[in-house]
A and B are shown apart, each in its own frame.
Chain A
Amino acid sequence: DVKVTQSSRYLVKRTGEKVFLECVQDMDHENMFWYRQDPGLGLRLIYFSYDVKMKEKGDIPEGYSVSREKKERFSLILESASTNQTSMYLCASIGQDTQYFGPGTRLTVL
């Protein structure tokens, strides 16, 4: 019954490293989203994609980039990780009548 998977549940990286977070959905959805969730701030949209190779900035895109080469896969990239990017990262896949989140990746940047 897998719907949205994320490559790692927990990740620890060092400042300056390049970090890849992968998200895969098996529902043939066109719309995929990356959020981060922080205490007191709720979920904030980083980037989204509405089709292969299409991407749009969300509310907090600074320090991030994304890649959507295949419909089922949406990757979030931290070009040079910083400590303020320590957070829970959630991928979402949204279709006509269905919305699912992945289990989340808890990223710690040291």
Chain B
Amino acid sequence: RKEVEQDPGPFNVPEGATVAFNCTYSNSASQSFFWYRQDCRKEPKLLMSVYSSGNEDGRFTAQLNRASQYISLLIRDSKLSDSATYLCVVNVPFRSGGGADGLTFGKGTHLIIQP
């Protein structure tokens, strides 16, 4: 089983629609969760962290279900500028115990907002 799984899409949605992404992770020891956004030919950028209680940042809402090992991202009132690839990212403690936690990335979900 892959460590972090996402639907690759593409998701084609009209401007103004609500879109939801889902992600599952396999390592129950994972402690931190994030959504990153990556534009074409650019580096990934942190969009938001995901907290157990769920959190919201403007039009974006992230939720975590530890029991199901499931993370979601909801985008409301989508804009053309939301078109990008959204990466689900999970912190996986390294087996070496070296003290660094590493980020494991899903392959990303490609979102296209259409006018």
Contact = CB atoms under 8 A, between A and B. Distances in A.
Interface of A: 30-31, 33, 35, 40-43, 45, 48-51, 54, 56, 58, 90, 92, 94, 99-104
Given A56-B96, A99-B34, A45 B102 contact: yes
A41 B107 contact: yes
Contact of A104 (B43, B98, B101, B106): B43
A23 to B, nearest CB: 12
Contacts of A35: 105
- Please name the 8 residue pairs, one residue from A and one from B, whose CB atoms are nearest each other, closest first: A50-B100, A42-B107, A101-B43, A43-B105, A31-B100, A50-B99, A56-B98, A99-B46
Nearest to A55: B98
Contacts of A42: 87, 105-108
Interface size on B, as a range, is: 20 to 34
B55 to A, nearest CB: 14
Interface of B: 34, 42-46, 87, 94, 96, 98-108
B88 to A, nearest CB: 10
A102 B103 contact: no
Contact of A58 (B42, B87, B102): B102
B43 A48 contact: no
A58 B3 CA distance: 14
A92 B100 CA distance: 13
Given A42-B108, A56-B96, A99-B34, A94 B103 contact: yes
